[in-house]
Structure 1
Amino acid sequence: MSGTVTVPSGTDLICGYFLAADGEMVRLSFDDIAMVQERTDGVLWLHFNLVSVRARHWLERQSGLDPFVSEILLDAHDDRTRLERLDDGFVAVLSDMHYDFKFEPSDIGTLRLFMDGRRIVSCRRHPLKAVDRLRKALNDGARYATTSEMMADLVGHLAETLSDVAASVEKDVDTVEDIILAERFLQARKRLGQIRQLIVKLRRHVSPQRQALARLGNSGFDWVSDDDDTYLRHATEKFAGVLYDVEALQDRAKVLQDELLARVADQQNHSLHVLAVVTVIFTPMTLISGIFGMNVAGVPGVAGIEGDHIAFWWVMLLIVLSGALMLFFLRPRR
């Protein structure tokens, strides 16, 4: 355990760190966990890949966690945001962005974790952005004296990740607005629908996450110092700004949707108006051509009647004149 073990992402233990009281940081492999699991002279963070059978087995059988905690950490179906207080810590289900986020509603992932005074045990099924930011911060020299201090930074990263997504969505909304003004309605309708779905899902995750994490800042645990409690509260309040931005985006997307529908309706009304005008103009022309096309006796111009050699041109002239006459009557009425 004295050396540094590089653990590639995607294995059973994605990353493991033990931050000793003297400031030393030790990176852990899966086999090192047993050696530091019971130590109380530092901060332990273990981050697991739930796709791994070995990781799931450790969480269920070897972690020493309460069965209720293990059940929540291993649950593959319930992704609702929650934070449950236990005798000596918290178990939480939080939302984070997939590392390869592509602005799809399904790209909002789930981070599950347990925290007490000496350790944080977290797990996920898909690479997540906020956790990766915390991991990079540790690799770049960040140090934490308590688990609550580390958790406050993680909460801050979660809020920043969601805020970055909200800022990117805002740029996407600007693009959709330009597309609507350019009257490319089919493209705008498709993209705006995706954006609205993403915004709704973001709001559905941010709002309860803010409420849940607020309880973290009012924990009252002995191992959470006043400074750490203030730090946690400050990190949690970042979600208020994110929620405000998401709600503003939701209102703006709704306005754009209304504008799109109004413009499409105007375009359809214009098309129907043109069709109605054309129909009115051609109605007498059609009537005349229909009358002279009847196969009955007595129709002017039929063979055997005087002047039949020019009757066709008289009929054509009558058709044109009727159309011009209808157009003359329609022009003042626009």
Structure 2
Amino acid sequence: MVDAVPELAANEDETTQYGLIHALVLDGKGRARPIDYTQLEVLQLGDEESVWLHWHRHHPQSQAWLRNESGLSDFACDLLLEENTRPRLLPLPGDELLVFLRGVNLNPGAEPEDMVSLRIFADSRRVISLRLRSLRSTDELLQQWAEGRGPKGPSEVILHLADALTEKVDQLIESLSEEADAMEESTAAGESYTEQGRVLLLRRRAASLRRFLSPQREIFTQLARNHLPWFANDDGDYWNELSNRLVRYLEELELIRERGHLIIESEQRRMSERMNRTMYLLAIITCFFLPMTFLTGLLGINVGGIPGADSRYGFVGACALMAVLGVSQWWIFRRLRWL
């Protein structure tokens, strides 16, 4: 029975006609056996066993089962099926939990920072999770059970899912940091970095991730402090470690945003310096030719008495005068260190 689990991992994106993506009974020792929808009504769990049911949130049969057969209250069902939500933790009566998490969207053609939602209900014997878009984190769980080292109970299922989601965030943040490094190296090398749209996209992606990770860190902190009776003894330490990792990620995201801002400032400062240098050269050229322009304009007016108008050497004399004037200006500009 256990050997069938990897096959389920390969078909995680294929929802059955009942909306049930995965259904596994955990043996409490690190392994699990798959069951199908028809076995849910007659399912009997052993003393150490628990069950994980993973549903497609928009499938009509999933919603019908959740409201009519799961035994959850209308309040819990409404929260699990609501269209828009944010990461949060909600304790329910009877030591039950509702956990809403976010994970990186690694589906083809999707933006990673457009995070996908995972809604979880858990108690001492079962975990019910719902998703709309596929999550690779569930594949890792199935592989762990196939190898006999998977979660042993509901609390560890939630912990492993949260850990897998956090690991994907780590990979995305690392790629964003490397992209910021490349931009900074390009700027430091004196290359003109004109693709400011990429810098703005980098800052937007960092801000989007930070929006969801900040409340998710609060969830992990609460789970580390609130030890329910069905939690494993060392769960608090793991939740605290996940919280600390998210703190580091949030600090890294804030640094990435600040680095993007500095890259834009550096490029704007470089453009301003280039513009000032260009305007300075234009001013020097204008100042250099202004006296000669004044002289040629003065000699070009149509009135009598223009010097050299009747002399065959008048033009040569005017050119010599302008040459002397140009050399004098060059010498003066050099002395003033304008050139």
1:223-246 Cα shifts (integer Å, max 9, x gaps): 123233444334433323333433
2:286 pairs with one of 248, 259, 279: 279
User: Are residue 181 (structure 1) and residue 192 (structure 2) matched?
Assistant: no
Q: Distance in 2 between matches of 1:31 and 1:322?
A: 102
Residues 1:176 and 1:32: Cα distance change in structure 2 (over 3 Å): farther
Q: Distance in 2 between matches of 1:228 and 1:278?
A: 75
Residues 1:232 and 1:301: Cα distance change in structure 2 (over 3 Å): same
**CA deviation after TM superposition for structure 1 residue 319, in Å:** 5.5
Q: Would you say the 8 A contact 2:30–2:149 is kept in 1?
A: no
**CA deviation after TM superposition for structure 1 residue 320, in Å:** 5.6
User: Are residue 330 (structure 1) and residue 336 (structure 2) matched?
Assistant: no
Q: Would you say the 8 A contact 1:93–1:113 is kept in 2?
A: yes
Indicate the structure whose relative CO is greater, using CA pairs within 8 Å and at least 6 residues apart.
2
Gaps spanning 5+ residues in structure 2: where?
Answer: none
Matched letter for residue 159 of structure 1: T
Q: Distance in 2 between matches of 1:112 and 1:151?
A: 11
Q: Secondary structure at the match of 1:306?
A: coil
**CA deviation after TM superposition for structure 1 residue 321, in Å:** 5.3
The within-5 A match list for 1:199-218 is 199-218=206-225
Residues 1:164 and 1:106: Cα distance change in structure 2 (over 3 Å): closer
Identity %: 25
Q: Secondary structure at the match of 1:283?
A: helix
Matched letter for residue 66 of structure 2: L
Residues 1:170 and 1:22: Cα distance change in structure 2 (over 3 Å): closer
User: Are residue 239 (structure 1) and residue 246 (structure 2) matched?
Assistant: yes
Matched letter for residue 162 of structure 1: V
Q: Distance in 2 between matches of 1:51 and 1:286?
A: 79
Q: Secondary structure at the match of 2:152?
A: coil
**CA deviation after TM superposition for structure 1 residue 51, in Å:** 4.4
Residues 1:329 and 1:10: Cα distance change in structure 2 (over 3 Å): farther
User: Are residue 98 (structure 1) and residue 101 (structure 2) matched?
Assistant: no
Residues 1:132 and 1:8: Cα distance change in structure 2 (over 3 Å): closer
Corresponding residue number in structure 2 for 1:197: 204
Corresponding residue number in structure 2 for 1:227: 234
Q: Secondary structure at the match of 1:126?
A: coil
1:9 pairs with one of 4, 9, 13: 13
1:170-223 Cα shifts (integer Å, max 9, x gaps): 211111111212322203x23222222222222232222111221122334221
Q: Would you say the 8 A contact 1:13–1:55 is kept in 2?
A: yes
Corresponding residue number in structure 1 for 2:272: 265
Q: Would you say the 8 A contact 1:13–1:46 is kept in 2?
A: yes
Corresponding residue number in structure 1 for 2:53: 46
Q: Secondary structure at the match of 1:65?
A: coil
Corresponding residue number in structure 2 for 1:306: 310
CA RMSD of aligned residues (A): 3.4
Q: Secondary structure at the match of 1:113?
A: strand
Q: Distance in 2 between matches of 1:139 and 1:98?
A: 25
Corresponding residue number in structure 1 for 2:161: 154
Residues 1:144 and 1:290: Cα distance change in structure 2 (over 3 Å): same
**CA deviation after TM superposition for structure 1 residue 154, in Å:** 1.9
Residues 1:244 and 1:298: Cα distance change in structure 2 (over 3 Å): same
Matched letter for residue 265 of structure 1: S
Deviates more, 1:211-220 or 1:230-239: 230-239
Residues 1:316 and 1:238: Cα distance change in structure 2 (over 3 Å): same
Matched letter for residue 63 of structure 1: S
Deviates more, 1:317-326 or 1:225-234: 317-326
Deviates more, 1:1-10 or 1:201-210: 1-10
Say how many residue pairs are matched. 327
Q: Would you say the 8 A contact 2:101–2:162 is kept in 1?
A: no
Q: Secondary structure at the match of 2:209?
A: helix
Corresponding residue number in structure 1 for 2:177: 170
Q: Distance in 2 between matches of 1:320 and 1:54?
A: 94
Residues 1:230 and 1:312: Cα distance change in structure 2 (over 3 Å): same
Deviates more, 1:24-33 or 1:163-172: 24-33
**CA deviation after TM superposition for structure 1 residue 150, in Å:** 1.8
Q: Secondary structure at the match of 2:228?
A: coil
Residues 1:145 and 1:281: Cα distance change in structure 2 (over 3 Å): same
TM-score normalised by structure 1 residue count: 0.81
Q: Secondary structure at the match of 2:268?
A: helix
Deviates more, 1:14-23 or 1:201-210: 14-23
Matched letter for residue 116 of structure 1: D
TM-score normalised by structure 2 residue count: 0.80
Matched letter for residue 87 of structure 2: T
Q: Distance in 1 between matches of 2:169 and 2:107?
A: 14
Residues 1:221 and 1:254: Cα distance change in structure 2 (over 3 Å): same
Q: Distance in 1 between matches of 2:73 and 2:124?
A: 15
